[in-house]
Amino acid sequence: MTELAHHSTDYSVVESESPDVMGRNLRVGAHLWSSATAFFFVAFLFTYFYLRSLNNHGLWRPKGVNAPVTLGTLIAVAVALSAIMTFAAARKLRAGDRSAFRSLGVVALALGLAAVVLQIVVFATVGFGPTDGAYASVFLAWSGFYMVFVVGTMYWLEVLLATSFRYRGHGAAARPAPGEASGDAHRMGDDIASPISLQSPGADAFAFTWGVLAGIGVITWIILYLI
């Protein structure tokens, strides 16, 4: 009865989809994920101020419970610099300079991973433990879960770079081999026709996400280390 679809229609005929759609999805998805991430840390923000208001008369940071400000500052700087590098890398990619994207991206990845290593150093050297009061609890949990997000975001950057390196010898019209993407050479229609075409929206989406997370990192630094 319908002219909109038929079971008998050849599967491969109907599947072509513009790469723009997936690029748009990535951008929108990045914005949505960032808002969810912000809400995740809002709970820690609320907890910090709530418990701080309860723990007055020197109970908030008892003697010996001091955050290592130098290391904390280094973490914040590494994260912020990495995010700035990422924005620059995405811009280069938009301009068609894939080589510069890779160079800046590798630096951004190194800085992000350096932040993770520094956080591990903080945990290993900090002079208090989780049982040492409310501030200690908030400090260790907030900064720890923040680093989990950083590691996940660095994975995304690694994927972008790995794809760029893999296709570095190809032109913008590079196409995957049949079946390389979906694992089925007969169902090529829904593979992304040109992996390079997704690089720029992917980098933009990543830069936004990492920028928001870096912003949260700077707020974390101000709250946990400075005030």
Partner 1 sequence: MKLRRLIGFNLLTAVILGVIGFYVGWWLGSLFTSESVAYLKESNQHDISLFIGYFTGVLGFLVGLGFANYPVQRMLGKPASLREKETQGKTRYLGLCTDHKVVGLQYLIGIGAFIFIGGLNAMLIRYELITPNQHAWNGNNYLTLVGLHGTMMMGMMTSGILGPFANYLVPIMIGARRMAFPRIEALTFWLLMAAGAILMTAIAFGGFPTGWTGYAPLIDQANMGVDAYIAFFAIVGLSMCLLGLNMVATVITMRAPGMTWGRLPIFVWGQFSTAILMLLAPPVLISTLLMVMLDRTAQTGFFNDQIGGSSYLYENLFWFFGHPEVYILALPGMGILLEILPVFTRKPLWGYKLAVSGLMGIALLSWLVWQHHLFMSGINADLRPFYMLSTELISLPTGFIFICALGTLWAGRIRLTSPMLFCLAWLFNFLIGGLSGVFLSDVPSDVTTHGSFFSMAHFHYTIMGALLFSFFGGIYFWLPKMTGIKLNERLAKAHFWVMFISFNCTFGPLLVIGFLGMPRRAVTYAGYLQGANTWVSVSAFFLGGSMLIFIFNFVWSLVFVREPAGDNPWNSKSIEWQLPSPVPVHNFDRIPTFGPDPYPYGNVGSDAVPSMPAVTPARPTQ
Of the candidate spans 68-76, 78-86, 132-140, 210-218, the one that interacts with partner 1 by CB under 8 A turns out to be: 132-140
Q: Examine residue 173 and tell whether it contacts partner 1 (CB under 8 A).
A: no
223, 44 in Cβ contact below 8 A? no
Judged by CB under 8 A, does residue 3 bind partner 1? Answer: yes
Distance of CA 91 to CAs 102, 129, 159, 164, 204, Å? 12, 43, 18, 15, 8
Instruction: Determine which residue in the list 87, 146, 167, 210 makes contact with partner 1, applying CB under 8 A.
Output: 167
Looking at residue 198, the DSSP 8-state letter turns out to be G
Interface with partner 1 includes 113 (CB under 8 A)? no
Query: Is residue 48 within 8 Å of residue 226, measured between CB atoms?
Result: no
Residue 32's SS3 state is: helix
Q: Is 127 in the site for partner 1 (CB under 8 A)?
A: no
Q: How far is the CB of 68 from partner 1 (least distance, A)?
A: 19
- Contact of 220 with 146, CB cutoff 8 Å: yes
Q: Which member of 83, 140, 157, 224 binds partner 1 (CB under 8 A)?
A: 140
CB-based burial of residue 226 (10 Å sphere; 0-12 exposed, 13-18 middle, 19+ buried)? exposed
Q: How far is the CB of 177 from partner 1 (least distance, A)?
A: 9
Q: Interface with partner 1 includes 56 (CB under 8 A)? A: no
CB of 25 to partner 1, least distance (A): 4
Query: How far apart (Å, rounded) are the C-alpha atoms in residues 162 and 160?
Result: 6
Q: Which span sits near partner 1 by CB under 8 A: 20-28, 68-76, 80-88, 114-122?
A: 20-28
CA atoms of 53 and 47, how far apart (whole Å): 10
Q: Does 222 bind partner 1 (CB under 8 A)?
A: no
Nearest approach, Cβ of residue 29 and partner 1 (Å): 5
